[in-house]
């Protein structure tokens, strides 16, 4: 039987995050995975929610130092509950937290009254730069994010409506793909990522996520093409270099494997 918990690779496939981000949250003591039978890290669903929150805030151009400070401060406020229970909102260049009806600025602890529907909530944040489409079709996207845990089928339908209404809305593809992967529907996720790439040919995250899904489907040669394309578009993506190196090694191309491993080590060097 498969050990309980999500592996680093599972987290990457679901959320499209980097190993570096996961490692930073672990080093900060904000996520605390246990070890599986072979010594691998295993993350809880709550850990995955927190990692997704941090990733969403970072993609929304909140500095990493600010995100870590906010998460540490939230833990100081209430160390009895997991941080995933708190919703984090970007209010301008500051971060606010919401738990039930309470809404406060994290840095000062000052309570505030939200004046807008939670368009900046980390778990419903509109990632990326497709601002006009995101605003126009905000409703379906936000609804989908809110429904993911309680009603995945309804969330999928809402993401598909958002895509149909705004075909260039990148984050609807990313979130829907992650949702499908979490439900074991890897082939459907690959189809969604390919659909997104028809509209957004040069999006490295879509190429990376497609590579991860293709690996899970056993299509190593197709996966390495996706990773290589991601690297062309984002040469400093350490995780794409790492994954490409593994696959090139598996496919017998030691020269390319060594080149990508060297790039990975250079990018991950402290």
Question: Could you please report the per-residue DSSP string of 127-157?
Answer: -SS-HHHHHHTHHHHHHHHHHTTT-HHHHHH
The region of weakest confidence among 85-89, 163-167, 240-244 is: 85-89
Residue range 198-252, pLDDT digits in tens: 999 999 889 989 998 998 899 999 999 999 999 999 898 888 888 899 899 989 9
What residues contact 45, with CB distance under 8 A and at least 6 apart? 6
Q: Which residues have C-beta within 8 Å of that of residue 31, sequence separation ≥ 6?
A: 22, 25, 43, 47, 50, 51
What pLDDT digit, counting tens, does each position of 126-139 carry? 333 344 444 445 57
- Per-residue pLDDT band for 69 (boundaries 50, 70, 90) equals confident
Query: Does the predicted TM-score (pTM) go above 0.85?
Result: no
Place of tokens 């093409």: 225
| pLDDT tens digits for range 92-131 | 667 777 655 556 777 766 655 544 433 333 333 333 334 4
Q: Is 152 exposed, middle or buried (0-12, 13-18, 19+ CB in 10 A)?
A: middle
């Amino acid at each position: 039987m498969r050990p309980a918990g999500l592996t680093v690779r599972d987290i990457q496939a679901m959320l499209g995050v980097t190993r570096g981000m996961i490692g930073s949250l672990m080093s900060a003591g904000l996520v605390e995975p246990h070890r599986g039978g072979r010594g691998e890290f295993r993350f809880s669903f709550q850990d995955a929610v927190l990692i997704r929150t941090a990733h969403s805030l970072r993609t929304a151009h909140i500095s990493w130092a600010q995100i870590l400070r906010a998460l540490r401060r939230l833990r100081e406020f209430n160390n009895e509950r997991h941080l995933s229970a708190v919703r984090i909102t970007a209010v301008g260049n500051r971060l606010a937290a919401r738990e039930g009806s309470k809404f406060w600025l994290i840095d000062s602890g000052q309570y505030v009254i939200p004046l807008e529907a939670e368009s900046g909530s980390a778990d419903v944040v509109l990632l990326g730069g497709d601002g006009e489409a995101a605003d126009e079709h905000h409703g379906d996207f936000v609804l989908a994010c809110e429904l993911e845990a309680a009603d995945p089928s309804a969330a999928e339908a809402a993401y598909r409506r958002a895509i149909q209404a705004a075909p260039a809305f990148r984050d609807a593809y990313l979130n829907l793909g992650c949702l499908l992967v979490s439900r074991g529907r890897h082939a459907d996720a690959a189809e969604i990522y390919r659909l997104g790439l028809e509209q957004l040919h040069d999006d490295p995250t879509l190429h990376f996520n497609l590579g991860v899904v293709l690996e899970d489907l056993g299509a190593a040669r197709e996966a390495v093409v996706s990773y290589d394309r991601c690297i062309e578009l984002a040469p400093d993506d350490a995780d794409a270099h790492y994954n490409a190196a593994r696959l090139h090694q598996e496919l017998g191309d030691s020269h390319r494997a060594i080149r990508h491993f060297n790039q990975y080590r250079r990018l991950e060097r402290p």
